[in-house]
Amino acid sequence: MNETAAIAELDIDPYSSENLIDPYPMHERLREAGPVVRLTPYPGVVACARHEQVHAVFNDHATFISGAGVGLTNFNLEKPFRPKSLILEADPPLHTQTRAVLSRILSPKAVMQIRATFTAEAEALLDRCVDKGTICGIHDLAQLYPLKVFPDAVGVEEDGRENLLVYGDMVFNSMGPRNELLARATQRVEAVTGWIMEHCRREHLRPGGFGDQIWQAADAGEITHEQAPMLVRSFLSAGVDTTINGIGNVLYALAHHPEQYAKLHADPTLARPAFEEGLRWESTAQTFYRTAARDCEIAGVPLAANTKVLCMLAAANRDPRKWPNPDRYDIERRPSGHVAFGAGIHGCVGQAVARLEGEVVLTALAKRVKRIEVAGPHTRRLNNTLRALDTLPLRLIPA
């Protein structure tokens, strides 16, 4: 018989305001308590905060499934807030079919084709920011950029795009508990769900865009016509709030590490690694769950079928067992193996587009701005899953 290990239990609520505002002390407690830890406030949930176990769980998709939801709610026991995503909240063989379509639409070749447009938009936006001098890094830059280029690429009209922010806020809050954040997001989303589903329809999507290409895949018989709007919904759910906060968080990192920004300004080809290290240092999607499909174990700790496993990506990305000086934002680090995009068969299918956005925004910034100064206190937008800023006052000193 295999040896079984005892499991630590901690009275920690990852969704308390205190832990959402500053999650790092909690991450350390969870990592040090053991490879897998029970959370007293959430019976039936265990958390993994170390890199090794998060990586192992993501790479065993047969044991740790997504089809019961990747949030706290077990969809086998409770109804999801919306029909399940056909890719995020799906397992093979369904996931294999839908993933093939999205991964072709977002392939390296497709990313090459959008590169010139994405670059030109970043340059135009950074020109405007430098003209202003003092900006809100979130409202004037991190939000405007993805909200322009990504819906353009999907083929969604300009009018009403702000609905994507309300919808994203709901999608990511829905993965946490039924707290005040989720209650408020649920209220706000009511007014925009109709708009979102309407813009998944073919007649609302520009011919040739990413959205229309999903409908073409249905014409080709790779997926059904009933599945097509649901996969467009995945673009509209996952493509905006994620990159907004990825860019917002890296602006925060650079503003608070002037010596790192100086390196980027001196060598703008560091834009891509600076963005990547930003994702490691302050991971946009902080947490995701898997569900145990059967009785199993993690690091020798037995788990019952239906246990929800909280994978703490942001904690794994600062695990000292994996990273030297994990709390240091260092743009010359090459953080390969970080799990900010997840790992395994569900690893972010849009990551090449996300990296393109980060790279071209930081390149345009590095070329125009000599120094970034913090121009006032920042504020956070608390969300059950996302690490998000609400405001980030910055002074851009032109080169």
**Cβ(208)–Cβ(219) below 8 Å:** no
Distances (CA, A) of 62 to 59, 95, 313, 357: 9, 12, 20, 33
Binding to ligand QZP by residue 49, rule CB under 6 A?
Answer: no
Please give the DSSP secondary-structure letter assigned to residue 223.
S
The mark string for 149-178 relative to ligand QZP (x by CB under 6 A, - otherwise) is ----------------------x-------
Considering beta carbons, is residue 152 or 169 the nearer one to ligand QZP? 169
Distances (CA, A) of 18 to 21, 25, 245, 380, 382: 5, 10, 20, 12, 10
Question: Pairing relation of β-strands 45-48 and 37-39?
Answer: antiparallel
Considering beta carbons, is residue 232 or 360 the nearer one to ligand QZP? 232
Binding to ligand QZP by residue 260, rule CB under 6 A?
Answer: no
Query: Of 300, 308, 362, 326, which Cα lies nearest the Cα of 129?
Result: 362
Q: Tell me how far, at minimum, the Cβ of 310 lies from ligand QZP, in Å.
A: 14
Considering beta carbons, is residue 56 or 236 the nearer one to ligand QZP? 236
Binding to ligand QZP by residue 238, rule CB under 6 A?
Answer: yes
SS3 of residue 106 by DSSP? coil
Considering beta carbons, is residue 35 or 168 the nearer one to ligand QZP? 168
Considering beta carbons, is residue 237 or 307 the nearer one to ligand QZP? 237
The mark string for 197-236 relative to ligand QZP (x by CB under 6 A, - otherwise) is -------------------------------------x--
Three-class DSSP labels, 118-143: HHHHHHHHHHHHHHHCEEEHHHHHHC
Binding to ligand QZP by residue 242, rule CB under 6 A?
Answer: yes
Rounded (10°) CA dihedral 58, 60, 63, 68: 30
Considering beta carbons, is residue 238 or 364 the nearer one to ligand QZP? 238
The correct pick among 65, 285, 360, 361 for binding ligand QZP (CB under 6 A) is: 285
Binding to ligand QZP by residue 383, rule CB under 6 A?
Answer: no
Q: Tell me how far, at minimum, the Cβ of 24 lies from ligand QZP, in Å.
A: 20
Report how far residue 103's alpha carbon sits from residue 299's, in angstroms, rounded to the nearest whole number. 32
Report how far residue 270's alpha carbon sits from residue 355's, in angstroms, rounded to the nearest whole number. 13
Please give the DSSP secondary-structure letter assigned to residue 162.
T
The stretch among 4-12, 135-143, 237-245, 273-281 that binds ligand QZP (CB under 6 A) is: 237-245
Contacts of ligand QZP in 66-125 (CB under 6 A): 85, 87-88
Q: Tell me how far, at minimum, the Cβ of 11 lies from ligand QZP, in Å.
A: 28
Considering beta carbons, is residue 107 or 269 the nearer one to ligand QZP? 107
Report how far residue 61's alpha carbon sits from residue 292's, in angstroms, rounded to the nearest whole number. 9
Positive or negative: CA dihedral 117, 172, 73, 339: positive
Query: Of 19, 59, 3, 5, which Cα lies nearest the Cα of 309?
Result: 59
Q: Which pair of tokens denotes residue 271? A: 């834009």
Considering beta carbons, is residue 39 or 164 the nearer one to ligand QZP? 164
The correct pick among 66, 73, 174, 237 for binding ligand QZP (CB under 6 A) is: 237
Q: Tell me how far, at minimum, the Cβ of 56 lies from ligand QZP, in Å.
A: 19
Q: How many residues bind ligand QZP (CB under 6 A)?
A: 9
- Contacting residues toward ligand QZP, per CB under 6 A: 85, 87-88, 171, 234, 237-238, 242, 285
